[in-house]
Each structure stands twice: as structure tokens, then as C-alpha cells.
A and B are shown apart, each in its own frame.
Chain A
Amino acid sequence: MSFLFPLGFLALIGIPVLIFIYIIKNRYTEQTVTSTYLWTLSEKFLKRRIPINRLTGILSLILQILTVIAVALILAHPIITVPDSAEAYCFVIDGSGSMNIVQNGETRFDTAKKEIVNIIDDSMLGSSYTYICAGDTAARIFENDTDKSHAASLVEKSTVSYTSSTLTDALRIAQDYFEDVPYAKIYLLTDKDFENVQNVEVINVAEPVENYAISDVVYDLGEQAIKGKVTSYTGDVDELTVEVYLDGSGDAARTETVRGVDEEGKSAPIKKLEATEFSIDCKDFDFADARVRIAQKDVLDMDNEVVIYKLENQNFEKTLLISERPFFMTRLLNAVGLYDRSATDVGEDLLDVIEPSAYSGPAGYGLYIFDSLDAEFINDLEMPGEGAVWIINPRGNFKNSNFSYQGEVVRSDYEEEDPDVQEDDSFKSDLVGVFPDKTGRSSVVDEQLKGIPVGINYHLRRYSKLSVSGKYYELSTCDGNPVIFSGTNAYGNREAVFAFDLHEAGDLVLSGSLVLLVNNLISYSFPQVVNNTLYYCGDTLQINMITDCRSVRIETPSGSLKFPDTSSAVSEYVLDEVGTYKIYLVMKDESERLLNVWSSLPLEERNPVEPAAASFTISGTPSEAHLDGLLDNLLIIFIVLAVIVVADYGVYCYEQYQLR
């Protein structure tokens, strides 16, 4: 026998204390009386007492001492070692997404955890416990823990993930453990079937349940329709209903009944495990986000819905065009697909077009396009300290821009009033712009902006001669002068400059190259923060760090906040939950931009009864050895203690009765 806490015997100090108290308390009070004759005589009239009754005087003390001894024993926690009676348990729990399936009112993961806790509770004291959780990543949560309650509490605290199974990694960890502890009893708790298992006891927590899933949902820009697939995992089903909720609305905007198709092309039930396509027409409505879900209830809700966030709504901001003649610019913006609208739609949401007289200063736009405005007029107003700036056909020095105005270069025979001059080919050799200009500096940005397959020469009637300062990207030149360039102004805004009037650029405005250039400039002005809005759990989300962004805050579907590293150009974050991730970009001016992306449950985790999977084999020969078990059942001590306390109380009551 050994003692877990030998210091508990310090409680035995209570025995001399008790004896001291007993002596103090039981001191005889001395009194002088008239005569002791009657008292002495009374001895003869006392009933004869059996010798053991003489102990009654100190019976209470004896019982109290026994109580102290029992308490000391409890504190010292006596342990009896029982050789070869305990085990080294190793639990491998499947923490993949499918373990979220609810059956009998609890998730499979919870069921598995209960199984583990039950095994721990029923195990012999002295056993050791190792816990490997195959969640987002396979990790050994604890190893050779001999504290039952501690091990059970850690098991209880472990959480399921939403990603694909990492049981392969868990197997490797378990294999390493088995090589160190060949007598270990390894349990695998999962909802998957394995063809081959060795040295592992598999506890399959899966039960036949009903589950449907929606997958491969996309918004087809061309057909303006939401497309996707539905799958029944547990059996044939006549039909499934897909509902579409727009922009957070609680009412379904569209409801589509999905049925399968037989070989003859006729309507048929949706077959088990057979993905059935659906398409929902969305021509009649516009949306920023669309929640597409299966109406039928099943055991795994998180694979029943997908939220589509339009990428352009996520990445682009509103643009303000200040122009007296916005025709060409609006057409260019339409042509690049930024605003996929008919001409009449422009300006309704992402593009605002105003007259110069209506501009009174920056007003929260992401891009300001100043078209053919006098510098004096602009300089009298506040320049944007935010977003990007395009200056078209500058006529003077713009405050804090990256160029200085040197004057206007005009073709000598150009007569503005003479419309026929434009038709005369004889002047075309005078002012020839080169686009793109391949002679400039070469950088990633430069190459991106000039990423135009076919270059052209174009003719100008006139342009502003601008002297460029600071860092800029020269995109087009005319007679050696930069006429299209981009850079950063003194405010830090990304700036693009067209040193000519689009209305007088002749063949340039008719070329596809200019459309591509505008497209590139749009990307330059509005760097894409995310490239996609639909992910699977376990995917890595890449966030492009745009210039004005100071920090990034990610709110996960469960509501927790994450702050990814933003020190590099691309910040990465692994999506480990199912649902909408809200990405907040905190800009330099403390304003915030919100982007949403959707993370779906991985396809392989949707099947509630996973068909036979790969093997889970721990190689090696198990040892017959065991750990030494410990017996620390203190129940008997508690019972003895209780009896002693009750007896002591009985003696006390008897003494009080006697002294009446």
C-alpha cells in the first residue's frame, strides 16, 4: 500500500490535540462538601458494571480519535497497487465534419466523446490515457495522462471540426505511440467503415440517418441563373425543394422542385448518392447575396445551404464620374464588365455621374474620375484623400498630383471648329501616341497594367504635356511625352492620368486595347481583396492586402474574431467552420469595408454512412504487458467514518442523557 498524499497524515496531529482537549475538558472539578459519606455509600448501590463499560468514559475520545485517523487516511489517499491490471489506452477520435451529424439528439462527436469518457471511467486506476483528435489537423491532445478526471475533462472540451478527415495523420501519430507503447489498447471512434483494421478497436458511432446535401452552387453570369446539385445520401427520394433567399430576406424569392431524370429523359426520383443538377433563373432580380438551401430537414443542416456572395460586390466600391461629357467613359466602364448593365442602368448603384458643378468634395467613393476639368476648379475644392483618382485631360496643375502641367501640344493644322479635319488622313502622322509604351520601367505592376496583347499606335489632335514626378508607370507616350500613366499622388491615392480628351483620341477609344487598359486600371484602382467567395471548409482563404488597408479582422460563423497576419501582400487564413465569414478591412481612415465569403462542408464529409474507407492499420505486434493498477476505493473509509461519527454522536447523546 502506498499513499498518494502522505502529507495527509499531518491530520494525525489532531489526535494529541483531541487528547489535550479531552484532558482539559474532563478535568474533575474539586469541591468540598459537608460529607462524602452518602456519596461513598452510593457506590454500593450502583449496578454492577461489566468491565468494558469502564471504557464508556473515554469512548467518545476513542471514537473521535478514530475519526481523525479516518480523515487522515482519506487525505493521505491510500492506494493499493494491483500488478498488471491497468491498461494504456489510446483514443483516436474522428473530428471531421461528418461527426457533426445529429443522431439521438446529440452529434456523433458527442457520442464518441461519451464512449471515451465511459471507457476512462470504467478503467482501472493506474491506467494511462492518450487522446488523438483528428480535426482540422490531427493532434495528440494529451499523452499518458493517468488522471482520470483530467483526461475526461480534456476529452469533454475537445471540439469537432468541419473539415475533411485527417485520420491518416492520426494513424501516423497512433502508430508512433504504439511503437513506444506496444501494449496500448487503441480505440478508433469514427462514423466511417474501414475495410482493414489491425491492433485497433473501432467504435463506429454512425447510425442510419437521413441526409441531403447541396453542392457545386454557382451563379452563372451568362445565363443569370443559380446552378448547383442536390444529393440524397440515404436513399432514393421523390424530389427535393431548393429555396433561394436574397439579400438576407426571410422569404424565399425562388422555390425550385428538383427531381431526377431517367434514361429516357423523363422525371424520376432522385437516386441515392446521385448528384442531381438544378438551375434557378435569376434574370428578374438582382442581389448582393443569395442563400440557396434545401427545404427538407435532415440530420446535417450545415450541408443543406450555400450562400453566394457576388464577387464584384465584394471587391469593388462605388465610382464617381465628374464630367460634362461622360459618354465615352461610361461606355468604357460598361465595356470592361465592371458594371454589367445596360446603359440606362449605369449610375444606379456602383457608378454615380455628376456635372462638375455638382461636385463639392470627396464623398466616400472608391474612385473619383475627373474628366476634362480645369485645374483651378478642382484645386478650389478639396481633393479626395481616399480611394483612387483618375484625371482625364488635365488642363493645368492639379494640387498634389504626380505631374506638373507644361502646356498643351496641339497638332498645327488642327482646327477644332472644322469637323472635316478629322477625316483628313494627312495629319495623322503628326501626333501619334504609342500604346502600350514598352520602353518604360518594368515591374510587376507595370507588366500588369501593360498586359495588353496587341499594341497600337493612335492619333491625337492634342494633349497636355505633363512632366511626371515620383513613382509612376508610363503606359502610353506621344512624341516621348507620357500621355497615359499611373502612380501615386501626394495623398497616397492611386492615380491614373489620361493627358488627352477621350473625345479627341480618335481610333484609341474604338480599340479593344483601351478597354483592356481600363480594365487593368480598374484592377489597379480597386485591387481584388478576395478572388472567390465560395470555399470549402479546410480551404485557405487568401486576402490581398490593398494599399489603404491597415488591418484585417475576420468574424467566423461561430462569432469568434480572428486577426490574420497582414504583414505580407497576401494574408492567408484557413477556413475551419461552415458558414459565412465576414472579412472586415480596416482602412487607414478608420473606415471599414466588409466582404463575405461562404465556407461549405467538404463533400466527402456529407455522407452520414461513409462507405468502406481505407484501412486503419497499426502495424506491429502487440505486447501482453499491462500497467500496474491501483485501488483507491475510499468508500469503505467513508463508511467507517460515517459509522464512527454516528457512534460518537450516539455516545454524546447518551452522556447528555446520563447527566440529566
Chain B
Amino acid sequence: MNSLVVNEEFLSQVELLETLIKNNVAGQFGGNHKSKTYGSSCEFSDFRDYIPGDDINKIDWNAYGRFEKLYIKLYLDERQVHTRIYIDASRSMSFGKGKKDEQAIKLAATLAYISICEMDKVSIYAIHGDRVDEVIVNMLGRESYFNNIGKLNDIVFEGDSNISEALLPSTVGYGDGLSVIISDFLTDNSLDPAIDHLAGKKRDILCVQVLSADELNPKARGKLHYFDCENSDKFYRKNINREIINAYKRALDYTTGKIRDLCLSREGQYMLVASNESLQEIFFDKMINMGVMK
């Protein structure tokens, strides 16, 4: 894998983006994301009757002048969220000329930067087999970002991955931000437990499926014996013809549709990304259109 090179010009462009968090933000520290609870932000939300013990500094004296009754001014609370990015580090992500691993790392780095810019905490994990390996944890602030983001180059893509088995026992937080899973999702293992688990933890979910151009539109024809790069016991032997290609495309549509439906049913987001697709197109076009960013 090529070493990740942070394009500062591109990063300066994505600084303008914001992630849209749907769930109630329940972070411990103040931040830039509005919470459903009342807090101390500058943004007025509501009035309520004064109750003894309230901070008298929050009494709205203008309202008292008109109504002769004490009211407390309520302001929206803004919390800091914790963005957790999970990168599928199985061999299928790096095998061949697809460069899905590069695309996954670039996506993770860019998403992390956007969150950092929103004063959020960012953790990046690599999923190896049934476990989640921490790559960068609780990264906060640009300085920390630039100090740590190079660790993504250390991710080794090998073996297989079971996202559900890996995520369930891991710490995923509760209602405190966005969970991004970047994978090709080309596995028999079900993703449902993982998505259910994250949804149960009130996490916003974004599944990014990265596929190579050859996976999206295979060009191979004739008699082929395919071996799975992650497991040589798995193979596919067929005379690839027009009929099979059509069946493959239907299988691809089925798979992507299944993941999309799963995410949407859990109020999550799904995005299909080609490994050769540009980041500008992904962030300034796809993500905005999908409502992941604004």
C-alpha cells in the first residue's frame, strides 16, 4: 500500500463540511454538535418557570417586566461527539490492483479530519478477524490529527474479517456520535448484528462500501477458476459468459441493496464508493446529496 499523503489543500476544503448527527448527542464535553438537552450554548431554545435553586443569572428580567413572573431562559446544549471509524483490514481490501485499502484509508483520514475540525474526538480502528484493533484513539485537535494520522499507514491488510463478531464486544460508545464502517462487505458474515448493536447504542451509522472497478463491472470472460484471496478453500469455477455476468450484476445489486436497506432501516447511511473514485466527488457530491454532510 502506498503511504497516505495528506492533501492539505483538500483538507482545507473539507473543513467547511459538517457531519450531520441525527441521534441525541450525549457527549460529556461541550462541542459543536447540538444536543437535544438544554445547555449553555448561545442558541436560545425555550423559557420555563423559575424554580428555586436555579441560577439567577439565567432569569430573563425582561420577561419578568412584562409578565411579573420569573422565567428562566433555556439555551440548546452543544456537545462534543466521538467519531469512531472502523476500517475493514482484511486481505480482500488490499488484494489485486483495486487499491480499495488506499481508498478506505483516504476516506477514514478525511472523515477524521472533518470531525476533528468540528472539535470532535476521533478514534480509528482496524478490524482483523474477530477483533477490533485500535489504530488511533481519542484523537482531538488538528495537532493531534497531524501527529497521529500517519498511523493509518501501519494498518496491515491480511486475513479475513468478521465485522459483527469484532464490533459486538468492543466499546462503541453510547449516543455520542458517528460510527463509520469502511469495508467491501464481500463476505458471508452477516452485518446485521453489528448494525443493530450500533443502532442500539444510539450511534449514527455510516457504512461505506468500497469496491474496485473490476468488482463493479467484471471484464473477465471464458473458463476461469477463481480462488478467494482470503480463503483458498473457497473457489468459483465457471465458463464466464454473458449470462453469468448478468447474474453477477444481479448479485452485486442484491448485496449492495441488502446493506443499504439494513442501514436505512436502522436510520443509518450507506454509500457505495468505487476504489478509483475521487475524494472530491465522494465528499462534495455523494455525501452532501445523501445528507451525511452539509
Query: Which A residues lie at the B interface, using CB under 8 A?
Result: 26-47, 57, 655, 657-660
Residues in chain A near residue B264, CB distance under 8 A: none
A34 close to B223 (CB less than 8 A):
no
Is B29's beta carbon under 8 Å from chain A?
no
Distance (Å) between the CB of B254 and the closest chain A CB? 7
> Do residues B248 and A39 form an inter-chain contact, with CB atoms below 8 A?
yes
Q: With A40-B236, A658-B241 known to touch, is A35 a contact of B223 (CB < 8 Å)?
A: no
Report if B16 contacts A (CB, 8 A): no
The reply on B238 being an interface residue by CB < 8 A is yes
Chain B contact-residue range equals: 35 or more
A41 CB contact (under 8 Å) in B184, B235, B254: B254
- Which A residue sits closest to B253, measured CB to CB? A45
Given contacts A27-B223, A41-B251, A45-B251, contact A34 B238 (CB under 8 A): no
- In the bound complex, do residue B241 and residue A33 qualify as a contact, i.e. CB atoms below 8 Å apart? no
Given contacts A34-B95, A35-B92, A35-B184, A42 and B244 within 8 Å (CB-CB):
yes
Please give 18 more A-B residue pairs, beta carbons under 8 A apart, in addition to A35-B186, A47-B243: A27-B223, A28-B237, A29-B223, A29-B224, A29-B225, A30-B224, A32-B227, A33-B227, A34-B95, A34-B96, A34-B186, A35-B187, A35-B230, A38-B215, A42-B250, A42-B251, A45-B248, A657-B242
Do A39 and B226 have beta carbons less than 8 Å apart?
A: yes
- Residues A28 and B184 in contact, CB atoms below 8 Å apart: no
Complex Cα gap A279–B160 (Å) = 127
Chain B's closest residue to A38 (CB) is: B251
**Distance (Å) between the CB of A391 and the closest chain B CB?**
110
What are the residues of chain B within 8 A of A43 when measuring CB–CB? 247
Cα–Cα, bound, A45→B254 (Å): 10
Which residues from chain A contact B222 at a C-beta distance below 8 Å? Answer: 29, 659
Q: What is the total of A-B residue contacts with beta carbons within 8 Å?
A: 107
Top 7 A-B pairs ranked by shortest CB distance? Answer: A658-B241, A35-B186, A41-B251, A42-B247, A45-B247, A28-B225, A39-B236
6 A-B pairs with C-beta separation under 8 A = A32-B228, A35-B228, A35-B229, A37-B255, A39-B238, A660-B242
B252 close to chain A: CB less than 8 A: yes
Contact of B188 among A27, A28, A33, A37 (CB under 8 A): A37
Question: Are B230 and A44 in contact (CB-based, < 8 A)?
Answer: no
Among A31, A36, A39, A47, max chain B CB count under 10 A is at: A39
A310 CB to nearest B CB, Å? 94
Whether B92 and A34, one on each chain, are in contact in the complex, defined by CB atoms closer than 8 angstroms, is yes
Quote the shortest CB–CB distance from A5 to chain B (angstroms).
39
Q: How far is the CB of B192 from chain A (nearest CB, A)?
A: 16
Q: How far is the CA of A35 from the CA of B92 in the complex (A)?
A: 6
- Minimum CB–CB distance from B219 to chain A (whole Å) comes to 11
Q: Does B98 contact A (CB under 8 A)?
A: yes
Which of chain A's residues has its CB closest to B92's CB?
A: A34
Are B225's CB and A658's CB within 8 A?
A: no
Q: How far is the CB of A291 from chain B (nearest CB, A)?
A: 85
| A38→B230 contact, CB < 8 A | no
Q: Is the CB of B252 within 8 A of A38?
A: yes
Residues of B within 8 A of A35 (CB): 92, 184, 186-187, 215, 228-230
Instruction: Please give, as numbers and ranges, the residues of chain A lying within 8 Å of B188 by CB-CB distance.
Output: 37
**Distance in Å from the Cβ of B116 to the closest Cβ of chain A?**
31
